[in-house]
Amino acid sequence: MVTPARAAESKPDAKTDLAKATLLVYQGKQVCKYHTEDFFFFEEQVWGCEFITRFTCTATVVDKDDQGDYEGLTAGHCFNYAAVDKGQYYVADTLADKPVLHKIKLHKFANDERYDYALFAFQSLEVYPAIPVAMVVEPKANDAVTNINFALGLVKQTTHGLVVSGIIDAPAVEDLKNTKGRFLVSIGIGPGASGSAVIDDSGKIIGIVEAVFPGTQMPTVVMPTGKTFKDFIQDDSAGLRPLPPGPLPKPPAPPAEPTAWQLFKQLLGHLAFWK
């Protein structure tokens, strides 16, 4: 898992490294079913399997551990708990009809008023640079930032912009209370950019893209790294961890409706009481 010591390291060519370290996150599963195939003058039902994927978010390589596994960072809201238990999430580094997918192992993820992060590991024979995560974040208006993301899973786009606000302490509008603890940047992004890294001029990740305001020209909401990210790593009360292998626990079954014979016996009991 990424550590403050490793996160403090910086690279000279940060934007080139960021492009190489930016990944697509997919949800996928093997689907097996019968399908119809034509054989000369008749049709036949044939059993076949296909791996079906759905692009969800953008992630960034932030470390490489002692076992050689890469560590990735994205947004916690990119994951669904039921799918996590079945190991159905993957990353890829290129856009393709059939991308090379690397199964990920989630360390921890959370999506609430305090945190929106996910840390995961994956294995690959490819070489990826690790983008340092800033452990002190103090965004100021007009600070320059860069973001690389996979918009709609159609293209890897690079955007440049400016910080619009510092960390928001108390939103003036009740409907925007979920922006507390976040900051705003003026970068043009679309769906699928969630989880992508926002870096400053030093090449460090100062936050990850969390949300946009649909149908408006409002700036992008960014979940900061820094102290909030350190708290997330250390906070054992925060975030969901994958369950051990096996099916999800089933809720208790509702009580069964009484049978006619049981109702009859209850009636006899009442009649005996009133004798």
Rounded to whole angstroms, the Cα distance separating 119 from 75 reads: 9
pLDDT at 225: 97
pLDDT at 259: 60
**109-137 per-residue burial string, b: 16 or more CB within 10 A, e: under 16:** bbbeebbbbbbbbbebeeebbbbbbbbeb
Rounded to whole angstroms, the Cα distance separating 57 from 28 reads: 13
> What are the residue ranges in the chain where pLDDT is below 50?
4-11, 243-249, 273-275
Residue 180 lies in a domain: yes
Parent domain of 70: 4-234
Torsion of CA 130, 136, 140, 146, to 10 degrees: 0
**At 127, phi and psi to the nearest 5?**
-105, 120
pTM for this model (two decimals): 0.77
Q: Could you tell me the CATH number of the domain that includes residue 186?
A: 2.40.10.120
Rounded to whole angstroms, the Cα distance separating 186 from 219 reads: 5
Residue 251 lies in a domain: no
Rounded to whole angstroms, the Cα distance separating 237 from 227 reads: 16
The count of structural domains within the chain is: 1
Residue 259 lies in a domain: no
